[in-house]
Amino acid sequence: MKTTISNFSLAILMASASLTAYAATDAPYVQNPKYSADILVKEAFSKISRNYSNDESLVSAYYKENVSKNNQTISLNEALLDIEKASYLNDKNDKILVKKIRKNETNMPEPLKFKLQGGPVHIAKLDVVKHSLPGCDNKKIGDLYTFEYDTPVEQDGKIMYVVKFDQKVACDEILYRGKIYIESESRAISKVEFNMNIEERGDGYLSFIKNKPSHIKVKITNAKYVVGYKEYNGKWYYDFSRSDVSMQVRNNKTGTNNNFCITSGLVVTSYNPLTTTPHGELIKASEILADKKINGEESLIWELYDEMMLLAML
């Protein structure tokens, strides 16, 4: 029997839950599977067609990007989105449409400005279930990464196996380390937390900075990511993703050093079947959200969406 998406709102689900419902607690009384962790990970990816929606859907979402300098915000952009969410059974990319934008930049002069290219497009691609672990496809997971069990946890009333992963050997491409949370009964991936192995890479900034003046030196100090999923009526759905990139920037002309942090996140507010026309202006991976000429009226709705994002990522 084919399962289709009915109208439902993740916002309502989150609003009805307590804050502690999203916090994971150790479940030491639960034993990990007797087979190796890499087999469990491969099993989880092999069950995508059973655990996740096979249909295209219309997703409404809230997106936020923030640039801070020495712990003070210098740029903040928010957007309401419609997403044509592709099926998990094909390689089709999601389409991101921007409906409203709210911008807020400080008036202080800044010798160095950061603009996030692609913004919500890249955040949506953190969907590991759709795009596999970063740096490889599902067939090469065992070639590039090692896996080992961590202590199981209980989250939202469900038992999650936790698998730690790291890249096998140093290579030209920068890979990742992190944890995969796998629901014990269905083998669905419920969350993935990962960091780029960038700490010892002097060339790491090339993965993030497209253009910079020659007198500016950049060192990426941390790049961490998380993507989460929610279960509804026996199927799991993309719920949120977040990126935090920290860097040290030295201006050789002025002899100054500053710490910058670029944070961006996306949280889903509702899912619907793709039977209605999505609204908004298409944003491409090469475009900059802050440059879009789309307005969003001032209202409490932005603060409500921001609170929703905080709840989702607890």
Would you call 243 helix, strand, or coil by DSSP?
Answer: strand
Task: Establish if 2 belongs to a structural domain.
Answer: no
Task: Establish if 132 belongs to a structural domain.
Answer: yes
State pLDDT tens for residues 193-238. 999 998 877 777 777 887 788 888 999 999 999 999 999 989 999 9
What is the average pLDDT across 8-17? Answer: 34
Task: State yes or no: pLDDT of 296 exceeds 50.
Answer: yes
Residue 107, pLDDT score:
65
Nearest 5°: CA angle at 75, between 255 and 118? Answer: 105
Task: Establish if 96 belongs to a structural domain.
Answer: yes
What is the average pLDDT across 40-59? Answer: 94
For the purposes of burial, counting CB atoms within 10 Å of the CB of 14, is it exposed (0-12), middle (13-18) or buried (19 or more)? buried
Q: How many domains does the chain have?
A: 1
Task: Establish if 1 belongs to a structural domain.
Answer: no
Residue 251: which domain range?
10-312
Task: Establish if 125 belongs to a structural domain.
Answer: yes
Tokens describing residue 25: 């607690």
Nearest alpha carbon to residue 309 among 3, 1, 5, 22: 22
Tokens describing residue 186: 């269905």
